[in-house]
Amino acid sequence: MAGRSGKRSASRKPIAGNGGVKVPSVKTPKPRVTKTLISRDAARNAALITRFYAAFGRRDAEGMIACYASDASFSDPVFTHLDYAGMCAMWRMLCSRGKDLQVKTSGIDADVTDGRAHWTARYTYTATGRPVVNEIDATFRFRDGKIASHRDSFDLWRWSRQALGPVGWVVGLPGLRRTIRKKADEALKAYRARE
């Protein structure tokens, strides 16, 4: 409200339990987030993605796992939802089997909460002995300097034609998708039982 001087007075609110006496309200200032802090966090997250793929290229599953929060999750077209323990076992299994694995990354980008990368995996699919070149787009969510969520997407139909050969062409994608997921799940369960 405007007083006699024409200036607005501070709003007053009654406080419960004080007999209805009005006191000036106090506004809490919002914390300042500077561009420097944002760019520092973004750079830290981009470096985390780089470190993750460098470990993958060395087939260092423990180095990869160290990049994740302890409650992180993972999904891709084959492993549709893995909790932290399942994800750790998957990376250990893939690194132990990928004797000729080559990982190349590009397009690494991150901000304070999200990140993305494109990566190419070249390897021999152990079940058939066939060479595979898989192009993958990854997205990440970060929390407290770690990866909290990791989603990979790739063309499963293209992958299956490379990894499985003629079977990948003959079997329809819906049936093939179920079969691939089932075999991958069985392989991961067997690996975890031996771990």
Confidence at residue 121, expressed as pLDDT on a 0 to 100 scale: 97
Catalogue all structural domains in the chain, each as residue range(s) with its CATH number.
Answer: 35-154 (3.10.450.50)
pLDDT above 50: residue 1: no
CA angle centred on 189, ends 124 and 135, rounded to 5°: 35
- Is 47:126 a contact under the CB 8 Å cutoff? no
For residue 175, what pLDDT band results from cuts at 50, 70 and 90? confident
Of the two residues 195 and 185, the one the predictor is more confident about is 185
Q: Average pLDDT over the chain, rounded to whole?
A: 85
Read off the pLDDT of each residue in 23-35 and give the average, rounded to a whole number: 50
Residue 170's pLDDT band (cuts 50, 70, 90) = low
Three-class SS state of 36 = helix
21 or 65, greater pLDDT: 65
Transcribe 139-182 into DSSP letters.
EEEEETTEEEEEEEE--HHHHHHHHHTHHHHHS-HHHHHHHHHH
Q: What is the mean pLDDT of residues 109-125?
A: 96
Q: Phi and psi (nearest 5°) for 27?
A: -95, 130
Supply the pTM of this predicted model. 0.77
- Region 89-116 average pLDDT: 95
* Reduced DSSP (H G I as helix, E B as strand, rest coil) percent helix, strand, coil of the chain, to 5: 40, 30, 30
Strand spans (E) along 9-101: 12-14, 22-24, 68-75
